[in-house]
Amino acid sequence: KTGLTRALSTGLAGPQRRVLREDVLHGLTRTPKTLPPKWFYDARGSELFEEITRLPEYYPTRAEREILVARAPEIAAATEARTLVELGSGSSEKTRHLLDALTDLHTYVPVDVSESALTGATESLLAERPGLQVHALIADFTAGFALPGTPEPRLVAFLGGTIGNLLPPERTAFFASVRALLVPGDALLLGTDLVKDESTLVRAYDDAAGVTAAFNKNVLSVIDRELGADFDPDDFDHVALWNAEHEWIEMRLRARRPLSVKVPGLDLVVQFEAGEEVRTEVSAKFRQDSVQTELAGACMKLTRWWTDETGRFAVSLARA
C-alpha cells in the first residue's frame, strides 16, 4: 500500500494551484520576468523530461547512472541505509541501482511535485520489490517538509543535478532543511553537474531535435490550463545560454513580437516587448570545492566524491 495522499487528477489541487498563482503573479510582474522551473513538470512536461534524458546531447543522466552503477555497493556499505528518501524522485529509474544495492532497506520514501511521475514509479516499484514499504509524498521539498517516522539510518538522495535548479539563497535554505532531517548516522547523497566547456553545456540545453525547446515552452501550456491564460507557445523562442559569472545555464523564453497575454486566473494582462525574455530555469554547474563549501555552510561534511570516467558529473556523500 502506498501513502499517496489523493487520487489522480488532471489539474492541480487547491494548495498547489495557490502556489502557482503566487509564483506566476510574482514572476510575470517583475523585471526581468521569471517563472520557477518546478512548473515544467505536469504529465506532459515529465514525459518531455524523460525524453531529454535519452537525447545524445543531454549527458547528465547517463553520467550519473554510470556513477551509481559503479558505486552503489560502496554507497550501500558506507550508509547501511534502512530508509531511502529520494527528493525529486521523478520516474525513480536511477534509484533502482541504489535499491538493488541497499540490502538492509526497509522503507523507500519518494518525494516529488509531479504526481504523475510518482504514481507510475511507485506502482512499478511495488511490483518489483514486494515487502518494501513505500511512502510516496507529493511535496515541494524546496518549501521545507517533514518526513514520516522511518527506520534509521536514513539516506536522503537528491540526484539528477536538480540542486542546480535552485538559486543560491534557495540552495542555502534547502541544505539547512536537509541538515535538519539528519540524525547522526544518516547521510545525504547529492548529484551535481560539473562546470565544463561552454559548447557541451549549451548543447545539452538546446538539443537539435528541439525536445528541450518543447519542454521549456510547456510551462506556458501549464499556465494556460491552470490559470486560463492565452499564451501561444509559438509566440516564443527557446533560449539556452551559459552565464559564466554564476556558472549556470539559463533557459529563457523570448517573445517573437510584442504580446499582450491574458491571465484570467490572476485578473492580469501581461505585456511583452518584442525580444523580451522570461527566465524559466537556471541549472547551476559545480566544482568539488563549491559543493564542499555549500555543505559546510549547512554544517555537513563532504565524505565521498565520485565522478564518471570523464569527469562530467559528480555524486557526493555528506554527513551531518
Alpha-carbon gap, residue 164 to 156, rounded angstroms: 17
The answer to whether 112 is annotated as binding is: yes
The answer to whether 265 is annotated as binding is: no
Report in angstroms how near the CB of residue 145 gets to ligand AVJ at its nearest.
18
Write out the E strands in the chain.
33-34, 83-87, 107-112, 133-134, 137-138, 154-158, 187-193, 236-243, 248-255, 259-263, 268-272, 277-284, 301-307, 313-319
Give whichever of 162 and 307 is closer to ligand AVJ, judged by the CB atom: 162
Alpha-carbon gap, residue 118 to 90, rounded angstroms: 6
Binding residues for ligand AVJ, rule: CB under 6 A, are 52, 60, 160-162, 164-165, 205, 212, 281, 283
Report in angstroms how near the CB of residue 197 gets to ligand AVJ at its nearest.
16
Report in angstroms how near the CB of residue 212 gets to ligand AVJ at its nearest.
5
Alpha-carbon gap, residue 259 to 257, rounded angstroms: 6
Beta carbons within 8 Å of 30's beta carbon, 6+ residues apart: none
Closest by CA to 183, choosing from 147, 135, 159, 158, is 147
Report in angstroms how near the CB of residue 68 gets to ligand AVJ at its nearest.
14
Which grid coordinates are listed for 166?
Answer: 535552485
Give whichever of 34 and 283 is closer to ligand AVJ, judged by the CB atom: 283
Give whichever of 175 and 205 is closer to ligand AVJ, judged by the CB atom: 205
Give whichever of 197 and 267 is closer to ligand AVJ, judged by the CB atom: 197
Alpha-carbon gap, residue 256 to 271, rounded angstroms: 13
The answer to whether 88 is annotated as binding is: yes
Cβ 287 vs Cβ 194: under 8 Å: yes
Report in angstroms how near the CB of residue 230 gets to ligand AVJ at its nearest.
25
Give whichever of 205 and 272 is closer to ligand AVJ, judged by the CB atom: 205
The answer to whether 197 is annotated as binding is: no
Which grid coordinates are listed for 287?
Answer: 566544482
Annotated binding site: 58, 88, 94, 112, 140-141, 165, 205, 281-283
The annotation places the binding site for L-histidine at 58, 165, 205, 281-283
> Can you say which residues are annotated as belonging to the binding site for S-adenosyl-L-methionine?
88, 94, 112, 140-141
